[in-house]
Structure 1
């Protein structure tokens, strides 16, 4: 018999999770719900659930603290976190507490059921509940991979002008860096570094066209810490130096302007 505990302080969210969980349980399974960390600890001591679904920002005692306390007397319970907070420090703490999954709200029903059934299967097979490995979202379906890539691209486009590493982006979507690199290249057709550099080159070209900034300043504006490396990347991508590109663009503009004057005459 499975004993499932849902800890969620938002009524609608709790009812939503309850409906999804009930669809997957058998008649002899028990389902418990509560809205605070203190209640979660009390119910866990009383009913000893083998599956716990825990929100983080709950009243009285926060979710991570509640899990830390529950782990003292239920070390093998299968626990998944559902939260709207993506801070990496939370995920790091969750890893240390051997959480099964870390899901970001809003959670799609199909993804939630997939994770919940994995929890049930893990328990029924009597396998080790959690390996000590980087936290990962479930990315097995095409839809999930697209969502993961879209979130990554959104973050990259907002921050490509800053110091940005593969590990930093992977941590934002709670994916192992090696796995992130593999999926990114498969979905986008280019490696992570090449994608970042392409965005930076496009921005560099724009700055060369509309400003009088020196190349070293443009390199910093585009997120490069080393101007010489910026020059090498620019030459490799554009087959000319930044200075040559600026002259080329200005020459084109002058030529175009002259053509328009001749037509007018």
Structure 2
């Protein structure tokens, strides 16, 4: 018995795919449809589909990220992507996830039927056991989202000195920006923008302590395109201007060379001395 999952957020596209698929299946086969990545993972865990047709740009969690999660518990499912995007990075990621076919929209019914037949044959040859008891849903489990959090943090730390947006980071880990923002704050305990600014303030303090750069240059070195915005963020985090901080650091260094400044940018407190 075949269980086919179709993940497509466009109602007309979803209906078209369902009609074509049903025409090729037996009465005892099952066709499931949904419109988001999170729903796809839920249905995949519950019904264990042996064939999955996945769109890429869907809500909550994009198609590639959904496939990555599904591969954790259905490694042998035959999965094909149907997308309007031909970007090489998407295709490259799809290959790493062992996607059967990457179809570009719009696709002709005859072409889709041909691919679907091949998917059914491939699934049959793999001999996957689809009678396994479905696992309990664990979408709130931290491990389910560990991959793109770790990868995003790595990317942020490498590029926080550059112009960096939430959309840029989310695209690097193939996650919907809104979903990424929600998960990032939940996992890290701080909003994306605040996390970036924390890294930039730490770096700004180091530059103020170790260089003679003017504040406007430090703002650019830290990834700010607007020096006045940099000053506002710095004052909000440090309770003093960059110029005042430099004098503060120099005074401490002169008074006691054995002391060092311990900057805590997570709190709106004046930097404190640590001996």
| TM-score, structure 1 as length reference | 0.51
Q: How does 1:11-26 map to 2 (within 5 A)?
A: none
Question: 2:99 aligned with 1:73, yes or no?
Answer: no
Q: Determine the structure 2 residue equivalent to 1:236.
A: 236
Structure 1 segments (4+ residues) deviating >3 Å? 51-59, 63-66, 68-71, 75-80, 138-141
Displacement after TM superposition at 1:149 (Å) = 1.0
Alpha carbons of structure 1 residues 67 and 245: separation in structure 2 relative to 1, 3 Å: same
Alpha-carbon distance in structure 2 between the residues aligned to 1:78 and 1:183: 38
Q: How does 1:57-96 map to 2 (within 5 A)?
A: 67-68=103-104, 72-74=111-113, 77=116
Displacement after TM superposition at 1:139 (Å) = 5.8
Work out whether residues 185 and 191 of structure 2, in 8 Å CA contact, stay in contact via their aligned partners in 1: yes
Q: Determine the structure 2 residue equivalent to 1:53.
A: 79
Structure with the higher helix share, 1 or 2: 1
The total of aligned residue pairs comes to 162
Work out whether residues 161 and 223 of structure 1, in 8 Å CA contact, stay in contact via their aligned partners in 2: yes
SS at match of 2:113: coil
Alpha carbons of structure 1 residues 70 and 152: separation in structure 2 relative to 1, 3 Å: farther
Alpha carbons of structure 1 residues 224 and 64: separation in structure 2 relative to 1, 3 Å: farther
Q: Determine the structure 2 residue equivalent to 1:164.
A: 164
Summarize deviations over 1:100-137 as a string: whole Å, max 9, x none: xxxxxxxxxxxxx9xx98xxx9xxxxxxxxxxxxxxxx
Alpha-carbon distance in structure 2 between the residues aligned to 1:221 and 1:154: 19
Question: 2:237 aligned with 1:198, yes or no?
Answer: no
Alpha-carbon distance in structure 2 between the residues aligned to 1:79 and 1:206: 59
SS at match of 1:175: coil
Alpha-carbon distance in structure 2 between the residues aligned to 1:159 and 1:153: 10
Alpha-carbon distance in structure 2 between the residues aligned to 1:78 and 1:255: 79
Alpha-carbon distance in structure 2 between the residues aligned to 1:185 and 1:249: 32
Alpha-carbon distance in structure 1 between the residues aligned to 2:174 and 2:165: 14
SS at match of 1:67: strand
Displacement after TM superposition at 1:2 (Å) = 2.5
Segments of structure 1 that go 5 or more residues without pairing to the other structure are 5-23, 31-50, 81-112, 122-137, 260-265
Segments of structure 2 that go 5 or more residues without pairing to the other structure are 5-46, 52-76, 82-90, 120-127, 260-275
Displacement after TM superposition at 1:192 (Å) = 0.5
Summarize deviations over 1:152-187 as a string: whole Å, max 9, x none: 111100000011011111111111111111111111
Alpha carbons of structure 1 residues 145 and 66: separation in structure 2 relative to 1, 3 Å: closer
Q: Determine the structure 1 residue equivalent to 2:215.
A: 215
Displacement after TM superposition at 1:53 (Å) = 3.2
Alpha carbons of structure 1 residues 171 and 139: separation in structure 2 relative to 1, 3 Å: farther
Alpha-carbon distance in structure 2 between the residues aligned to 1:227 and 1:167: 23
Q: How does 1:58-207 map to 2 (within 5 A)?
A: 67-68=103-104, 72-74=111-113, 77=116, 141-207=141-207
Alpha-carbon distance in structure 1 between the residues aligned to 2:231 and 2:194: 15
